[in-house]
């Protein structure tokens, strides 16, 4: 069973109560494309990352920042293309979307793939089942053309969801998930999208990079095949992977105000764009919250936020800081720390998950050529 944590929705649901599902409509990209205006729009909007990389070997997919909680972009599947919004998730490896065969409530308010409408779809008799930290799906596998950031990936295997139990995906503002982790954790042995991009020579370099904006602002993107030098002016620190499963690395320690409060003897972490918060082993969470002066449930006085110290992650001999402006969530006059306790055992110990709260502080490069993660501090 693979694990993907999409914890932010759970945290927000607890604070805000039930949410009204987003109305599903055509994306801006689709409307412009139908009117023959897409290419001109991209040229006229230089701050849209897709306009800077609108060619085959280096291409960016703009991401929508949904309340600093999830980041999703638009892909298409089939001929003619059927559009879907997906989470670009470095914590899993499968691509799947809802299908017309799905009878779950979660599929009723999301776009659904219809294989009968695609002239390039190839069916299989293989099934797929994926359980995430929150939510799950079962379905069948098929092959079709998948277009991501103007890159056409032919004969890409993907999941057509037939069940999405529970209500987690019902309230999600995205349709499906596009996994960007390694083939070793792919359910049913399905080849990940980026692996096909590499093997078919569709990207200039065997890497992709991610920028996540803050405060709900625009500009987030996944850049396939390249590194944007305008985001690396503070230099890049390269960290070797400790396992080729998730984007897993070794951490030396976690400190607050110069004192080690967790990961005392080293630990493992993954850099995961599909996790909203910072996931901490339960055994370490209490010490971390105590060092920051928070209650056992993570609540803290908003008046104390300006006096809070950075949380420093020592990784591969380098310090990576996360300031209180990043790890404190304020809602309606109440403040809570963006740390979530959860135990995820591996052969090398329990995992920490460096989710979007961490990633927003850095431009992150996921390098498959030499199996490293690159971190460049953002201004």
Cα gap 181→186, rounded to integer Å: 8
The token pair at 99 is: 């299908």
Q: Going by C-beta distance under 8 Å and a sequence separation of 6 or more, which residues neighbour residue 138?
A: 127, 128, 129, 130, 161, 162, 163
Q: How far is CA 114 from the centre of its chain?
A: 26
Q: Which of 235, 286, 287 is nearest to 261 (CA)?
A: 287
What is the maximum span of the chain, computed from C-alpha positions, in angstroms?
A: 61
The token pair at 178 is: 């596009």
Q: Which of 86, 138, 76 is nearest to 113 (CA)?
A: 76
Q: Burial, 347: exposed, middle or buried (Cβ in 10 Å; 0-12, 13-18, 19+)?
A: exposed
Point out the residues that are catalytic. 89, 272
What count of other Cβ atoms lies within 10 Å of the Cβ of residue 271? 25
């Amino acid at each position: 069973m693979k694990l993907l944590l999409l914890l932010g929705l759970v945290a927000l649901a607890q604070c805000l109560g039930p949410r009204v599902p987003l109305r599903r409509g055509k994306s801006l990209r689709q409307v412009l494309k139908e009117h023959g205006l897409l290419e001109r729009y991209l040229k006229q909007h230089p701050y849209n990352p897709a306009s800077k990389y609108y060619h085959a070997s280096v291409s960016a997919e703009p991401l929508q920042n949904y309340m600093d909680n999830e980041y999703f972009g638009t892909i298409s599947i089939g001929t003619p293309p059927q559009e879907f919004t997906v989470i670009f998730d470095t914590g899993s490896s499968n691509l799947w979307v809802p299908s017309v065969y799905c009878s779950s409530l979660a599929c009723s308010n999301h776009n659904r793939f219809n294989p009968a409408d695609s002239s390039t779809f190839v069916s299989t008799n293989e099934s797929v089942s994926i359980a995430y930290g929150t939510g799950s799906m079962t379905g069948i596998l098929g092959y079709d053309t998948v277009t991501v950031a103007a890159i056409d990936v032919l004969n890409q295997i993907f999941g057509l969801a037939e069940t999405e139990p529970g209500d987690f995906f019902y309230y999600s503002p995205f349709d499906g998930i596009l996994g960007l982790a390694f083939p070793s954790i792919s359910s049913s042995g399905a080849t990940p999208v980026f692996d096909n991009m590499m093997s078919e020579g569709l990207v200039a370099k065997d890497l992709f990079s991610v920028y996540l904006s803050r405060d709900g602002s625009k500009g987030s993107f996944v850049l396939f095949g390249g590194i944007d030098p305008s985001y690396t002016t503070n230099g890049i620190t390269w960290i070797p992977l400790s396992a080729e499963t998730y984007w897993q690395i070794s951490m030396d320690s976690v400190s607050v105000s110069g004192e080690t409060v967790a990961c005392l003897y080293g630990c493992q972490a993954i850099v995961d764009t599909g996790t909203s918060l910072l996931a901490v082993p339960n055994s370490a969470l209490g010490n971390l919250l105590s060092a920051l002066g928070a209650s056992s449930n993570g609540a803290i006085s908003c008046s104390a936020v300006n006096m809070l110290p950075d949380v420093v992650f020592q990784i591969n001999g380098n310090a990576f800081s996360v300031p209180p402006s990043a790890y404190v969530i304020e809602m309606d006059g109440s403040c809570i720390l963006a740390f979530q306790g959860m135990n995820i055992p591996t052969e090398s110990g329990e995992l920490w998950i460096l989710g979007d709260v961490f990633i927003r502080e850095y431009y992150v490069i996921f390098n498959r050529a030499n199996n490293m993660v690159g971190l460049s501090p953002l201004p």
